[in-house]
Amino acid sequence: MFMKKCCITGVLIFCGFLMASSPLFAQVPGFYSQSPLYIQPSYPSYPSYPSYPSYPSYPWGEAQMSVPYYGYSPNQLYQCGLQLVYARRYYDAIRTFQMFLQMYPQSSLADNALYWTGECYYAQKRYYDALSYFQRILFEYPRANKVPDALLKTALSYMSLKQYVRGCQYLADLVNRYPNSDPARKAYRWFDRCGWPSSYSGRSRCSDEYQYQEPEYYSDWTFPKNY
């Protein structure tokens, strides 16, 4: 009897093994579950930082000059920008003066920094940009020492844009407000060179009926010996 039970048990175990290994029964849900395969999780890749643009190269082929911003006194930073203007490094000069205006807006040299920034744009024939800086002097620093120069260069910028009536208005304003200044003497020269009536001739200086002539290029805009 015992042997019979053992044989039956062995047969049942063997049949169960055959059924478990059969593909037919392997497709039945829940009948035979294999251990799940290990799937390697996909971790997100570390984001790469964007490449920051380098400073533009100079169109005249000069080596790039770094602009010192911090650790300089107002006068040192202003002189640094002025030397860049004399070297015709207009891009660096503009950056230097703009940083000067951010750091020292109340400095007595702030109007000078605005003026030379405008001169840098004027030298590149970017007259609208130049006008924005020259006119900032007139509105933000109306008592500054660069107001006569700003009036003159505002007039010349308008003339370069062929807006001769507005240019004449600023020249007339200059010679009336600052008749003994160096920019006023230059303005008188412009009246003569362009065929305009003198400031004291009694004729309307800003009449639309007058046929203005386009002025020549004002070449001595930057060097201390001339300006």
**Which residues make Cβ contacts (< 8 Å) with residue 20, sequence separation at least 6?**
32
Residue-wise pLDDT tens digits, 33-78: 454 554 555 544 434 433 333 333 333 333 344 445 567 888 999 9
CATH number listed for the domain at residues 74-193? 1.25.40.10
Q: Please indicate, yes or no, whether the overall pTM of this predicted structure exceeds 0.85.
A: no
**3-class secondary structure per residue, the chain:** CHHHHHHHHHHHHHHHHHHHHCHHHHCCCCCCCCCCCCCCCCCCCCCCCCCCCCCCCCCCCCCCCCCCCCCCCHHHHHHHHHHHHHCCCHHHHHHHHHHHHHHCCCCCCHHHHHHHHHHHHHHCCCHHHHHHHHHHHHHHCCCCCCHHHHHHHHHHHHHHCCCHHHHHHHHHHHHHHCCCCHHHHHHHHHHHHCCCCCCCCCCCCCCCCCCCCCCCCCCCCCCCCCC
Domain boundaries, the chain: 74-193
Residue-wise pLDDT tens digits, 133-167: 999 999 999 999 999 999 999 999 998 998 888 88
